């Protein structure tokens, strides 16, 4: 049993957050305050109050800055678990609110959000006008993290490898292409093999995106990707490729308009370069899907048939 009578002496969550920030990347109270969007005087006051309430020396202050004591690091480690527990509570409460409001929270990777979801949302809303869809756009790694933390009902990813702790279902199919400017000086007239492609500097998405994972998986056995540049968006990749910086690796969905307009041309690849992939919906195993989320998933799966 918890001693609820001591609640009045419990530390503030905000103060624990500052302490956790100082145990991580923050090198000063000012940096910790900025991470939590607090004014530094308020942060300093909050930490002083925490030391007073816990009756434990948490900080060591010197002209060089502020660092945690040994006791402070122990309290920060315990405090991080309190914050994680609160995140679970907060996510659960928001899920209840969203379910009651008939809202489905979807987190989708960039390519899926840009090129597949507009059609799905239009047709789904026509069939289910009382169900609202809230869509956030992240890379695949962040989508998976949000599903695990239960801050969304459904995740849509492009990743080749699927997390074993989540449920998954195919909702689409896609193919990556190597695209370059029509005047790119090293354009090929015959299909390029996987080994040859590893010698070509390529413009790629950032690590954590499904597109990057797919090209890494396709070339790892031949020696891996030679990176000419990393970009956090499909648009930036297309623009860089069109200016002849280097060929770009992108979904054919993202390249259709550029191919039609002649801004980019596809480079032929040999059969040993497998650039096909499946797009998946993922959701938490320990969380029952809301009726709205289940309807949306069925809608996307049915569109494949």
- What pLDDT score was predicted for residue 244? 80
Q: Which two tokens stand for residue 175?
A: 């193919």
- What pLDDT score was predicted for residue 152? 94
- What pLDDT score was predicted for residue 1? 47
Domains of the chain: 4-93 (1.10.10.10), 97-171+278-303 (3.40.190.10), 174-276 (3.40.190.10)
Q: How many CB atoms within 10 Å of residue 4?
A: 8
pTM score, whole prediction: 0.63
- What pLDDT score was predicted for residue 279? 94
- What pLDDT score was predicted for residue 148? 94
Low-confidence ranges of the chain (pLDDT < 50): 1, 4, 7
* DSSP conformational letter for 268: P
Name residue 59's beta-bridge partners: 68
Q: Which two tokens stand for residue 115?
A: 């090129």
Q: Do residues 192 and 270 touch, judged by C-beta distance below 8 A? A: yes
- What pLDDT score was predicted for residue 6? 54
The candidate with the shortest Cα–Cα distance to 18, out of 29, 4, 27, is: 29
- Rounded to whole angstroms, the Cα distance separating 96 from 285 reads 17
DSSP sequence for 218-242: HHGGGT--EEEEEESSHHHHHHHHH
């Amino acid at each position: 049993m918890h001693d609820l009578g001591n609640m009045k002496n419990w530390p503030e969550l905000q103060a624990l957050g500052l302490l956790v920030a100082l145990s991580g990347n923050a090198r000063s109270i000012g940096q910790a305050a900025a991470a939590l969007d607090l004014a530094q005087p308020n942060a300093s006051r909050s930490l002083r109050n925490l030391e007073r309430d816990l009756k434990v020396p948490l900080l060591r202050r010197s002209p060089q800055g502020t660092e945690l004591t040994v006791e402070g690091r122990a309290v920060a480690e315990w405090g991080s678990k309190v914050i994680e527990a609160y995140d679970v509570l907060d996510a659960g409460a928001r899920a209840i609110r969203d379910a009651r409001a008939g809202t489905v929270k979807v987190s989708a990777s960039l390519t899926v959000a840009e090129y597949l979801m507009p059609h799905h949302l239009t047709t789904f809303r026509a069939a289910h006008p009382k169900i609202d869809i809230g869509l956030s756009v992240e890379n695949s790694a962040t989508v998976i993290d949000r599903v695990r933390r239960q801050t969304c009902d459904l995740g849509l990813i492009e990743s080749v490898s699927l997390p074993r702790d989540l449920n998954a279902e195919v909702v689409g199919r896609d193919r990556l292409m190597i695209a370059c400017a029509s005047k790119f000086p090293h354009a090929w007239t015959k299909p390029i093999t996987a080994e040859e492609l590893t010698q070509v500097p390529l413009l790629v998405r950032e690590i954590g995106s499904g597109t990057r994972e797919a090209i890494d998986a396709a070339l790892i056995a031949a020696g891996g990707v030679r990176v000419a540049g990393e970009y956090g968006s499909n648009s930036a990749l297309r623009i860089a490729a069109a200016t002849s910086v280097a060929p770009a690796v992108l979904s054919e969905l993202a390249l259709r308009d550029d191919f039609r307009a002649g801004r980019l041309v596809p480079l032929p690849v040999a059969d040993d370069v497998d650039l096909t992939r499946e797009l998946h919906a993922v959701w938490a195993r320990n969380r029952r899907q809301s009726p709205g989320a289940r309807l949306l998933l069925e809608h996307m799966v049915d569109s494949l048939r």
